[in-house]
């Protein structure tokens, strides 16, 4: 097994389904097959949304494209997907490329699938999962003892570089901490359903990060599978008393919630309050899952 970088674009003609499958020509098949069972970093350049290196996910297997024998699909482990807190341009702050074996121009620089060394992978993961302790990202409670990499009293996470960063990517406490910070930051500390923005004296937001499709049902730790919700609203959402429709209208299990409670907890537009960037808003696939499997309305 070996780690890889997959290049994607929001304007691509390939039949990608981000978070699920990556569509590629069979000229890259041998490279992709080497990465099965290992981790893949996704990069999107200026021809796409310009995100740079922006998320990581484990590659589960490869299957042929049934409609085109010249192409295949890389099938991703949906539950392993994790957004970076900091998107990275292709060049490090010191002027070197993150992928040290990459040509500056031409050659393998144009490849859509690139194998990457453990050292380069570790460097990208360390930088991509670093964070600043701005108020919207601070946790509401102390983190577990094994979550030292995300400790609240640090201004940035810069652990000693180690070739194997898989513990970071598979540790539930660390993934929860990264997910929580990313979601609260995207919604700027405001509850997406009630509209309330409550903060303590240090500016720390009251909101919690809620998974739309839960982790126990293979929900990924991505902002698009998350909502920033106040504690009570989070409890109601997880129990199916609230959900979100296709047009982002807030759905209410009327038989379970009194009208008086609805008026107190739902913002007066009756619509989900979205992040400032539409790219960070909840994905319809996860909202559909919640309506079908959790909502009691």
Query: For residue range 150-165, what is the model confidence (pLDDT) as tens digits?
Result: 333 333 333 444 445 6
Instruction: Name the percent of the chain lying above pLDDT 90.
Output: 61
Q: In the predicted model, is pLDDT for residue 144 greater than 80?
A: no
Pairing of β 3-7 and β 21-25: unpaired
Q: Where are the domains of the chain?
A: 3-128, 180-293
CA 212/CA 210 separation, integer angstroms: 6
Give pLDDT, residue 162.
Answer: 47
Mean residue pLDDT of the chain comes to 85
Q: In the predicted model, is pLDDT for residue 5 greater than 80?
A: yes
Give pLDDT, residue 45.
Answer: 83
Give pLDDT, residue 134.
Answer: 55
Nearest in space to 64 (alpha carbons), one of 31, 26, 19: 26
CA 83/CA 141 separation, integer angstroms: 22
Output the pTM of the full model. 0.77
Query: For residue range 253-283, what is the model confidence (pLDDT) as tens digits?
Result: 988 888 888 888 899 999 999 998 888 899 9
Query: For residue range 11-62, what is the model confidence (pLDDT) as tens digits?
Result: 778 888 888 999 999 999 999 999 999 999 999 987 656 789 999 999 999 9
CATH class of the domain comprising 3-128: alpha beta
Q: Among 52-61, 85-94, 172-181, which range has the highest average pLDDT?
A: 52-61
Task: Give the phi and the psi of residue 32 in degrees, each rounded to 5.
Answer: -65, -40
The answer to whether residues 296 and 253 touch, using CB atoms and an 8 Å cutoff, is yes
């Amino acid at each position: 097994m070996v780690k890889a970088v997959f290049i994607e674009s929001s304007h691509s003609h390939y039949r990608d389904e981000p978070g699920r499958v990556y569509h590629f020509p069979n000229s890259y098949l041998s490279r992709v097959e080497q990465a099965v069972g290992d981790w893949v970093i996704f990069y999107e350049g200026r021809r796409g949304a310009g995100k740079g290196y922006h998320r990581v996910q484990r590659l589960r297997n490869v299957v042929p494209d049934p409609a085109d024998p010249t192409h295949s699909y890389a099938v991703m482990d949906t539950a392993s997907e994790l957004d970076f807190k900091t998107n990275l341009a292709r060049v490090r702050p010191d002027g070197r490329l993150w992928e040290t074996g990459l040509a500056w121009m031409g050659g393998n620089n144009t490849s859509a699938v690139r194998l990457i060394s453990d050292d380069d992978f570790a460097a990208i993961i360390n930088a991509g999962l670093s964070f600043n302790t701005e108020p919207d990202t601070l946790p509401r409670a102390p983190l577990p003892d094994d979550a030292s990499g995300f400790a609240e009293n640090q201004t940035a996470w810069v652990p000693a570089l180690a070739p194997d960063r898989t513990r970071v990517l598979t540790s539930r406490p660390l993934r929860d901490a990264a997910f929580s910070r990313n979601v609260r930051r995207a919604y700027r500390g405001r509850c997406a359903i009630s509209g309330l923005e409550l903060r303590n004296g240090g500016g720390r937001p009251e909101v919690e990060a809620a998974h739309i499709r839960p982790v126990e049902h293979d929900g990924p730790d991505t902002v698009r599978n998350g909502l920033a919700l106040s504690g009570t609203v989070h409890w109601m959402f997880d129990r199916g008393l609230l959900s979100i429709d296709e047009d982002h209208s807030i759905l209410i299990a009327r038989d379970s919630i009194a009208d008086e409670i609805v008026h107190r907890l739902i913002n007066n537009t009756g619509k989900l309050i979205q992040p400032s960037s539409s790219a960070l808003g909840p994905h319809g696939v996860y909202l559909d899952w919640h309506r079908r499997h959790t909502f009691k309305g």
